């Protein structure tokens, strides 16, 4: 039965009962959440239905655990009472100067402890939590709701998704039910159980605020955004839907003060379980790598490339000798599909590629110079750390300058040394950007290496590409170790 139809039935029953009070026993076999009807009108009509999470907590609470992770802290600590007189005492300076050094400083290293949450997903003691809760820890302790405290082994962790798997030696443990994040709807009620600030088994509730959120430096996780109160100590705990199923792992908060401010983020549980399966099997996560740097396609860029609307992932750099380079992908290509699945935003591509194992051959739908074509690429394994690209001179300059008043640009060609340092075959350095170029965000020292989907090697190639361009243009720019397209609206 449709959940909204159920709410209508509940409302009708509430109205028949006088429009108030707690209604229990409805749909218990399917959903461990009852409802509370609150009357707002004299005629008994129900204006609001609020969920009651008591049954959810009773059923699912025992599967949630508290985690303490200890780390060695070798930072010397000042003794709290090194000097037996107050600072305003005339003898304070005497004691400060002549007390033995070992009485003023505690040389013994002490352990720092971080607190978090987690949940049991198998009866033999496997636990999911956040990687940042247990990363670098020398000892991990898990506290169950029955007051047992058990040592835990770290099976593996994945910093890219912030997922970790622990193992405790126990059997017949209560476990959570795994839900389907794709079925979540914005505005749907959800609840979290965890240990904020060390207060174990704390329950908070709210709604789903958004789905598929991308955060800075987080390319592999489409976060679930909620307004559930999440604070330090909640990290790694489960996010439940109204059916009592785990749909996410509470991972991050947006805060200017360090406390809850109404915005929190959870890792979708389907993604976390894929990571957990690999961690249980091999202790690490293997992901495919395509070897491209990409950029979001804006409305202006879509117009510049002749695309019907902003979509896809715009290639701004191709790694030499990588899978994309060997497959024939070019700078300026827009990846629209991967194995038939639409790539609506640039943030979709890293996740879709990362879901493929190393060695897999993928089929890419690519927009190039006004038409779509298919390209096959064989992925390699994504390394643990990305190599930094060499930084070129921020403001290279040659004696001869070329002015393009329509663009507001003064350009010069790169020297051989600059090309080698930047790892490019050619390009033009911006000596001065003003007018429409400055408004678009171009800066002195930027290096233009492409115009629309044409590579720029020198002034002549730039002039030809500019003459052939129709309407607005997009300049491919290298800025230190970053590469991006900058759209220009021409008058």
Note whether 487 and 327 are within 8 A (CB). no
Does residue 138 carry a catalytic annotation? no
SS3 24: coil
350 φ/ψ angles, rounded to the nearest 5 degrees: -55, -40
SS3 355: coil
The residue from 34, 117, 209, 235 that is catalytic is 235
How many Cβ atoms from other residues are within 10 Å of residue 20's Cβ?
Answer: 14
Q: How far apart are CA 398 and CA 414, in angstroms?
A: 7
Q: How far apart are CA 160 and CA 139, in angstroms?
A: 22
As given in the structure block, the two tokens for residue 360 are 């897999």
The residue from 34, 114, 162, 209 that is catalytic is 162
**CA 403 → CA 199, 298, 411, 430, 434, distances in Å?**
66, 28, 6, 10, 11
Residue among 130, 150, 132 nearest 140 (CA): 150
Does residue 162 carry a catalytic annotation? yes
332: region left, alpha or beta (phi > 0 left; psi from -120 to 50 alpha)? left
The residue from 34, 63, 114, 132 that is catalytic is 132
Sign for the pseudo-dihedral over CA of 278, 279, 282, 288: positive
Does residue 437 carry a catalytic annotation? no
The beta strand positions in 245-360, using DSSP E, are 245-253, 264-268, 288-289, 292-296, 313-318, 334-338, 341-342
Dump the DSSP string for 52-97.
Answer: E-HHHHHHHGGGEEEEEEEEEE---EE-SS-SSS-TTSTTHHHHHH
Catalytic site positions: 132, 162, 235
């Amino acid at each position: 039965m449709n959940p909204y139809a159920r709410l209508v039935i509940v409302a009708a029953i509430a109205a028949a009962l006088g429009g108030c009070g707690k209604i229990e026993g409805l749909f218990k076999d399917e959903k461990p959440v009852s409802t509370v009807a609150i009357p707002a009108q004299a005629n008994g009509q129900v204006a609001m239905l609020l969920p009651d999470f008591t049954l959810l907590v009773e059923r699912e609470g025992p599967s949630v655990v508290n985690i303490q992770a200890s780390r060695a802290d070798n930072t010397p600590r000042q003794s709290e009472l090194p000097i037996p007189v107050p600072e305003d005492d005339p003898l304070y300076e005497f004691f400060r100067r002549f007390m033995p050094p070992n009485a003023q400083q505690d040389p013994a290293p002490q352990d720092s402890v971080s607190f978090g949450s987690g949940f049991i997903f198998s009866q033999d003691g496997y636990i999911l939590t956040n990687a940042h809760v247990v990363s670098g820890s020398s000892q991990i302790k898990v506290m169950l709701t029955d007051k047992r405290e058990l040592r835990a082994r770290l099976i593996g962790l994945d910093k890219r998704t912030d997922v970790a798997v622990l193992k405790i030696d126990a059997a017949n443990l209560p476990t959570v039910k795994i839900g389907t994040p794709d079925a979540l709807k914005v505005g749907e009620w959800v609840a979290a159980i965890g240990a904020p600030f060390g207060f174990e088994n704390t329950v908070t509730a709210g709604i789903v605020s958004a789905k598929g959120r991308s955060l800075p430096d987080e390319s592999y996780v489409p976060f679930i955004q909620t307004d559930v109160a999440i604070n330090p100590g909640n990290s790694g705990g489960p996010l439940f839907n109204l059916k009592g199923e785990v749909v996410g792992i509470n991972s991050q908060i947006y805060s200017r003060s360090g406390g809850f401010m109404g915005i929190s983020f959870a890792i979708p549980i389907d993604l976390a379980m894929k990571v957990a399966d690999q961690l249980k099997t091999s202790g690490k996560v293997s992901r495919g790598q395509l070897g491209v740097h990409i950029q979001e396609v804006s409305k202006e860029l879509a117009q510049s490339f002749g695309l019907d609307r902003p979509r896809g992932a715009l290639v701004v750099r191709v790694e030499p000798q990588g899978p994309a380079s060997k497959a024939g992908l070019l700078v300026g290509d827009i990846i629209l599909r991967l194995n038939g699945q639409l790539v609506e935003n640039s943030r979709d591509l890293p996740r879709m590629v990362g879901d493929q194992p190393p060695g897999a051959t993928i089929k890419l739908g690519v927009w190039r110079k006004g038409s779509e074509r298919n390209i096959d690429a064989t992925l390699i394994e994504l390394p643990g750390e990305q190599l930094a690209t060499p930084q070129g001179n921020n403001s290279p300059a040659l004696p001869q300058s070329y002015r393009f008043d329509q663009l507001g640009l003064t350009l010069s060609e790169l020297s051989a040394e600059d090309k080698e340092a930047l790892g490019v075959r050619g390009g033009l350095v911006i000596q001065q950007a003003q007018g429409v170029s400055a408004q678009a965000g171009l800066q002195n020292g930027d290096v233009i290496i492409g115009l629309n989907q044409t590579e720029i090697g020198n002034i002549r190639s730039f002039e030809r590409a500019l003459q052939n361009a129709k309407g607005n243009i997009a300049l491919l720019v290298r800025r230190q170790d970053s590469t991006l397209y900058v759209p220009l609206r021409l008058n």
